[in-house]
């Protein structure tokens, strides 16, 4: 996953630590399920490509045109939704870190860190080989070891390692979302380094998540948005595959949502109005996770005092 851009100049980028994408051509082919998974993560950062894709979920079918570019070691991904409401999503950034920097500032880059972090949270197994978007793929089954997160199934391009098809499976094993390339052209490996995001110190929030599923860690990304009031605090947590968003805001500073559980496509949002820090605040927890997990995170938020 790529962290959001923080405005570092091109000269600074060239001096930062990075991953040499050319090593993906020289290394041995993946053998185990974990090796295939890590290869897919690095490939997602290192290949330049154009593709058409389809997303099938609870809210219907959407088609997209995708572009992934790299310039001076910085990634830029753009998704154009081709039907329904006009929507363009753009992300620009570096290879992210797995967590905020600790006392010594050492945090692994996302692909290496994620692959190691999944042990004890998911079971990874190789499936059969199938043809997707006119290319040969290796299927990878990722099953959670508890009932607190969803499962995943990936079809990885055998030539590049890129995921050409992904399905999300709920706690019963039912497919709730499918994302698949339908056309995949002009892919080539970037001949240089993709830079890592710099280590970021953790923010000083007056609250802390009192409970999170095992393996979930705060993500070191800037979550400020022009769409939100300055009093709206937004934090991300992830176990490497599943992600949840946590919003905390004074009740009078934002649109008031009805307490309870709301469905948002394949995601859910748990809403609570709680007295925290001497005033009523709206707590919203969103993610592609079992609803009871989102509700528990919202109910166990702990106030520690003003930062």
* pLDDT higher at 240 or 59: 240
Token pair 């620009």 is at which residue?
Answer: 92
Q: If you average pLDDT over residues 12-18, what whole number do you get?
A: 51
- Which of 3.40.50.150, 2.30.42.10, 2.50.20.10, 3.40.50.2000 is the CATH number of 18-194? 2.50.20.10
Q: What pLDDT does 102 receive? A: 58
Q: What pLDDT does 225 receive? A: 53
Look at the alpha carbons of 142, 143, 149, 153 in this order and tell me if their dihedral is positive or negative.
Answer: positive
The domain spans of the chain are: 18-194, 203-303
Inform me whether the pLDDT recorded for 38 exceeds 60: yes
pTM of the model: 0.86
For residue 15, with 0-12 CB atoms within 10 Å meaning exposed, 13-18 middle and 19 or more buried, which class applies? exposed
Q: What pLDDT does 10 receive? A: 37
CATH architecture, range 203-303: 2-Layer Sandwich (3.30)
Q: What pLDDT does 229 receive? A: 56
Q: What gap in Å lies between CA 159 and CA 167, rounded to an integer?
A: 21
Query: Are 258 and 271 a contacting pair, CB within 8 Å?
Result: yes
Q: What gap in Å lies between CA 118 and CA 268, rounded to an integer?
A: 23
Q: What pLDDT does 59 receive? A: 77
Exposed e or buried b for every residue in 91-128, given b needs 16+ CB within 10 A? Answer: eebbbbbbbbeeeeeebebbbebbbebbeebbebebee
Q: What gap in Å lies between CA 219 and CA 243, rounded to an integer?
A: 9
Q: How far is CA 285 from the centre of its chain?
A: 16
User: What is the radius of gyration, based on Cα positions, of the chain?
Assistant: 20
Query: Are 54 and 62 a contacting pair, CB within 8 Å?
Result: yes
Q: What pLDDT, in 10s, does the model give residues 118-161?
A: 988 999 999 999 999 999 999 999 999 999 999 999 999 999 99
Segments of 96-242 assigned E as strands: 122-132, 135-144, 151-157, 163-169, 175-189, 193-195, 207-208, 217-218, 233-238
Tell me how long the chain is.
307
Short-list 247, 193, 244, 251, CA closest to 219: 244
Q: What pLDDT, in 10s, does the model give residues 249-264?
A: 998 766 789 999 998 8
What percent of the chain has a predicted confidence (pLDDT) above 70? 88
Q: What pLDDT, in 10s, does the model give residues 187-227?
A: 999 999 999 887 778 888 899 999 999 999 888 876 665 45
Q: If you average pLDDT over residues 83-90, what whole number do you get?
A: 90
- How does the average pLDDT of the chain come out, rounded? 86
> For 110, phi and psi rounded to 5 degrees?
-60, -55
- 299 pLDDT tier (thresholds 50, 70, 90): very high
């Amino acid at each position: 996953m790529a962290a959001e851009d923080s405005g570092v100049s091109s000269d600074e980028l060239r001096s930062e630590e990075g991953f040499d994408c050319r090593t993906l051509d020289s290394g041995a082919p993946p053998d185990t399920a974990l090796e295939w998974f890590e290869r897919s993560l690095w490939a997602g950062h290192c290949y330049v490509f154009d593709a058409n894709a389809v997303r099938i979920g609870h809210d219907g079918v959407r088609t997209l045109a995708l572009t992934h570019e790299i310039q001076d070691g910085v990634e830029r991904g753009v998704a154009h939704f081709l039907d329904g409401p006009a929507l363009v999503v753009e992300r620009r950034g570096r290879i992210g870190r797995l967590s905020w920097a600790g006392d010594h500032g050492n945090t692994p880059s996302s692909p290496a860190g994620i692959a190691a972090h999944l042990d004890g949270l998911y079971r990874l197994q190789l499936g059969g080989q199938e043809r997707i978007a006119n290319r040969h793929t290796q299927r990878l089954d990722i099953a959670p070891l508890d009932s607190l997160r969803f499962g995943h199934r990936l079809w990885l391009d055998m030539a590049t390692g890129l995921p050409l098809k992904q399905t999300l499976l709920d706690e019963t094993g039912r497919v709730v979302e499918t994302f698949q390339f339908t056309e995949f052209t002009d892919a080539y490996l970037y001949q240089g380094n993709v830079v890592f995001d710099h280590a970021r110190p953790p923010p000083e929030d007056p609250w802390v998540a009192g409970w999170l599923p095992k393996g979930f860690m705060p993500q070191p990304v800037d979550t400020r948005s022009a769409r939100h009031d300055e009093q709206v605090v937004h934090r991300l947590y992830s176990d490497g595959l599943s992600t949840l968003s946590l919003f905390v805001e004074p009740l009078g500073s934002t649109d008031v949502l009805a307490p309870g559980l709301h469905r948002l496509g394949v995601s859910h949002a748990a809403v609570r109005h709680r007295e925290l820090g001497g005033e009523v605040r709206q707590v919203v927890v969103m993610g592609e996770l079992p609803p009871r997990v989102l509700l528990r995170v919202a109910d166990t938020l702990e106030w520690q005092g003003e930062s």
